[in-house]
Structure 1
């Protein structure tokens, strides 16, 4: 894991954005798995600005949604779908045929996960995965547990996840989510882990110990050969 530290969020976001651009220049039909939340927002805003001057760079880019809250309408401002539409899909003009994402409120969440898993297997490996770090060490909705799921699955959300800024103000919070599994994530050719936000000091300290445990899913990133971990110097 390549640990990089920055003085401010804008510089961190720009660095992540330049990694994406460098990969796009090497492979026009790049497949990126994208997280949501505060951590990657600056990176997506950077890419949106780049699109204004170089739209040709993004014309074959394919986006894969990392996860989704269960049971929210796709237009709900707390849904991952709404977030990605506003911050990435519309700004980069990503057409439906270049987007793979869980439905927000499927009739059968398990079958929806099977659909996404099959599509990922049919379309090929993810080239770049952009991740955030949960306060309890989760990545995607791969929550701390005694075991972890390798492929797309329905995840019961922890109390910590239900306090996430995207849903914390909802009267009835989602009890489950749909997410790529650990093998899906670790099969990506390159990973960017963005660490930003309050309350992550303890989990960052544990991550730095390089002890791999299912109780802190992000530690499995130590098994990957090409992870850039970007964070502020104060984290």
Structure 2
């Protein structure tokens, strides 16, 4: 486990982008999974800038989703896919054929999970995984009490996640479940980068790095990963 502390959000985002660029240069045909959310947006901005400057090329990468709100499709405002389209896929000109996302409005969510697991299995594993950390320590929608033995699955959202979700939507949404990659995918990923910012995340980061591994705080499982990089700003790192 490696930890990088940037002076501010911009410096943290730059460091995460540098790590991603280094990885893509070493393995241009990577299977990549980027978390959607507020924290990674700065990293996406840095990657878009690097692409336009000729510092990285994503043409041979394939991209998969980390998670999606059940009940939302990729065009819905605030959906994970819409966030990725707006901040990364669109600006980078990523071809649709190179993107595979969960469909949160599918009539068969178990089939969505199966298709995702089969895609990852055909590649071997996720090569590069960019994560954020929830206020409750969740990774994707792997909420507190989740089994660490799961691949893709549908899960009831924790009360904290439902409360925090309002920041993504202009109108109130009744979101009760999520569809997500599982902790087994996370632990099997080749390279994991975690971005965390703000004083509101300082306590959960203390637990992430120093608490015993427990599914009550899912992020603690990253202590078991052989190749994880935490990129924090000074506020998020206050208690570590």
What's the TM-score bracket when you normalise by the shorter of the two chains? over 0.9
* Corresponding position: 1:172 with 2:137: no
The answer to which of 59-68 and 130-139 deviates more is: 59-68
What CA deviation, in whole Å up to 9, does each residue of 1:25-51 have, x standing for no partner?
A: 111112211101111111111111111
Are the counterparts in 2 of residues 61 and 94 from structure 1 also a CA contact under 8 Å? no
Query: What is the aligned partner in structure 2 of residue 94 from structure 1?
Result: 94
Aligned-residue offset at 1:108: 1.6
- Report which stretch shifted further, 163-172 or 1-10: 163-172
Q: Give the aligned partner of residue 127 of structure 1.
A: 127
Q: Deviations over 1:101-142 (max 9, x none)?
A: 101311121221111111111232111100000000000000
1:187 lines up with 2:188 in the alignment? yes
CA 1:187–1:225: 2 relative to 1, 3 Å: same
Contact 2:2 2:228 in 1 (8 A): yes
* Distance across 1 between alignment mates of 2:178 and 2:201: 22
Tell me, yes or no, if the aligned pair for 1:37 and 1:166 is still in contact at 8 Å.
no
TM-score by length of 1: 0.94
> Aligned-pair distance for 1:148?
3.6
Cα distance 1:56–1:196, how it changes in 2: closer, same or farther (>3 A)? closer
Give the SS at the match of 1:90: helix
Contact 1:152 1:181 in 2 (8 A): yes
* Structure 1: runs of 5+ lacking an equivalent: none
**After superposition, where does 1:108-147 map in structure 2 within 5 Å?**
108-145=108-145, 147=147
Classify the secondary structure of the residue corresponding to 1:103. Answer: coil
3-state DSSP of counterpart to 1:83:
helix
1:55 deviates by 7.7
| Alignment check: 8 A CA contact 2:152 2:182 kept | yes
Aligned length: 235
Root-mean-square deviation (CA), in Å?
A: 1.7
- How does the TM-score come out when normalised to structure 2? 0.92
Q: Distance in 2 between matches of 1:107 and 1:198?
A: 40
Aligned partner of residue 140 in structure 1, secondary structure: coil
Contact 1:213-1:219 within 8 A present in 2 as well: yes
1:104 aligns with 2:79: no
CA, structure 1 residues 146+52, in 2 after alignment: closer, same or farther (shift >3 Å)?
A: closer
Mean alpha-carbon deviation: is it higher for 97-106 or for 175-184?
Answer: 97-106
From the superposition, tell whether residues 137 and 168 of structure 1 become closer, same or farther in structure 2 (CA, over 3 Å): farther
